[in-house]
């Protein structure tokens, strides 16, 4: 199997994100939920306890009516539950907000129904058994046991600090004792939440690395994706830019040419020949119509000789690319032109 050595492209990341495949750890949501939940319970506990105490007092004081009069029971139940629900709203709102914040912090704003689509693998008992007894399943079970053990240890250590205060609870008011125990339990829960956040950070790092590993591509996958999704407008723009740069290089080479052979107006081919470094003359520029006119104009501005040889110009334009040497069958014709140019230069000197 080919090794995945290439970094994922933005399109591959986007497609994976659309399918709901993102680096996400449920431990982050659990840790933040536990921490925020116990912090809110620590702050709202007395209010909630007061509502529960009022409900119990009301029911105990009207116990007989509640048993024989269903209408009175329903009315008392509704009257008692409304304050309790209102007192619980801060906890529910805090848990909802913390869950949304934890998910957004990990994956951003992501809305996709892809994970909700039915899949046979999810209900296939054989696939479930394979996942359960796989290496990943064993690692998940080990992480769960480690997490529970660590939480129990933190809870034990936290509550052991309060053990010395338990005998004194018999000498205080029942309400004060309950609040003291409530605060101790909430403090233990906060410490457990902080521990869960540390575990969540490590688990998120593991999930992120595994996600990045799964997104990596083989060399062939990268090539196929670039071919499949390459933007035609960008491709055309790149080609246009390449042609423009090639044109600039070609026109910059015209002043260095030894001769420009023309058709005379339709074609122009510029040749350069350095006997010390070249085996044969090289075509440094060629063009037709407007480009031929530009080549002739640049040649004239820089004193490059222009020779009209229509048959030779047609052959050079058709047979030789820019930057290539002329073929052997054109040596004789080009040599005659160069000899003619050199003779003219000798007479002028």
Half-sphere exposure of 161 toward its Cβ, with a 13 Å CA cutoff? 11
Q: Residue 98: which residues within 8 A CB-CB, separation 6 or more?
A: 29, 32, 33, 35, 36, 37
CA distances for 254 relative to 189, 282, 339, angstroms: 82, 12, 19
Query: pLDDT digits over 312-327, tens only?
Result: 999 999 999 998 999 9
Domains, the chain, in order of start with CATH, read: 10-226 (no CATH), 252-348 (3.40.1690.10)
Q: Are strands 282-288 and 306-308 parallel, antiparallel or unpaired?
A: unpaired
User: How far apart (Å, rounded) are the C-alpha atoms in residues 338 and 340?
Assistant: 5
Residue in 171, 193, 169 with CA at minimum distance from that of residue 181? 169
Query: pLDDT digits over 27-52, tens only?
Result: 888 889 999 988 888 888 777 777 67
pTM of the full predicted structure? Answer: 0.54
Question: Reduced to 3 states, what is the DSSP secondary structure of residue 273?
Answer: coil
Per-residue pLDDT of the chain (349 residues; tens, 9 = 90+): 567 777 887 888 888 887 777 888 888 888 899 999 888 888 887 777 776 766 667 666 665 555 556 666 677 667 767 777 777 788 888 889 988 888 888 877 766 655 556 655 555 666 555 655 666 667 777 878 888 888 888 888 887 877 766 666 667 666 676 777 788 888 888 889 899 889 888 888 988 888 888 888 888 887 777 777 666 766 777 788 888 888 888 999 999 899 999 987 789 999 998 888 888 999 999 999 889 999 999 999 998 999 999 999 999 999 999 989 999 999 999 998 888 888 876 654 4
Q: Residue 10: which residues within 8 A CB-CB, separation 6 or more?
A: none
User: How far apart (Å, rounded) are the C-alpha atoms in residues 38 and 186?
Assistant: 5
The 8-class DSSP code of residue 186 comes to H
**Phi/psi class of residue 289: alpha, beta or left (left: φ > 0; alpha: ψ in -120 to 50)?**
left
Question: Reduced to 3 states, what is the DSSP secondary structure of residue 236?
Answer: helix
pLDDT for the residue 184: 82
Q: DSSP labels for 28-64? A: HHHHHHHHHHHHHHHHHHHHHHHHHHHHHHHHHHTHH
Question: Reduced to 3 states, what is the DSSP secondary structure of residue 288?
Answer: strand
Q: Residue 73: which residues within 8 A CB-CB, separation 6 or more?
A: 65, 66, 67
Q: Residues 239, 264: contact at Cβ < 8 Å?
A: no
């Amino acid at each position: 199997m080919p090794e995945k050595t290439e970094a994922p492209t933005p399109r591959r990341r986007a497609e994976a994100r659309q399918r709901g495949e993102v680096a996400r750890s449920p431990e982050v949501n659990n840790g933040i939920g536990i921490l925020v939940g116990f912090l809110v319970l620590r702050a709202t506990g007395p209010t909630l306890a007061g509502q529960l105490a009022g409900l119990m007092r009301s029911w105990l004081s009207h116990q007989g009516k509640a048993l024989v009069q269903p209408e009175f029971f329903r009315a008392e139940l509704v009257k008692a539950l409304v304050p309790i629900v209102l007192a619980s709203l801060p906890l529910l709102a805090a848990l909802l907000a913390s869950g949304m914040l934890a998910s957004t912090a990990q994956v951003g704003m992501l809305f996709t129904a892809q994970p909700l689509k039915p899949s046979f693998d999810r209900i296939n008992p054989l696939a479930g058994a394979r996942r359960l007894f796989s290496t990943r399943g064993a690692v998940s079970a080990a992480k769960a046991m480690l997490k529970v053990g660590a939480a129990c240890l933190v809870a034990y250590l936290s509550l052991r600090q309060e053990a010395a205060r338990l005998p004194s609870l018999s000498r205080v008011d029942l309400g004060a004792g309950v609040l003291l125990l409530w605060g101790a339990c909430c403090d233990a829960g906060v410490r457990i939440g902080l521990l869960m956040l540390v575990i969540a950070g490590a688990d998120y790092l593991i999930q992120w690395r595994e996600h990045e590993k799964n997104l990596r591509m083989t060399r062939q996958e990268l090539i196929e994706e670039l071919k499949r999704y390459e933007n035609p407008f960008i491709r055309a723009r790149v080609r246009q830019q390449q042609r423009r740069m090639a044109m600039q290089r070609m026109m910059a080479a015209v002043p260095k040419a030894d001769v420009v052979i023309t058709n005379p107006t339709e074609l122009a081919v510029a040749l350069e020949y350095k006997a010390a470094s070249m085996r044969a003359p090289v075509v440094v520029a060629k063009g037709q119509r407007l480009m031929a006119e530009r080549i002739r104009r640049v040649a004239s501005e820089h004193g490059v000789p222009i020779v009209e040889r229509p048959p030779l110009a047609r052959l050079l334009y058709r047979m030789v690319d820019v930057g290539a040497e002329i073929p052997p069958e054109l040596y004789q014709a080009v040599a005659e032109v160069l000899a003619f140019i050199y003779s003219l230069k000798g007479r002028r000197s």
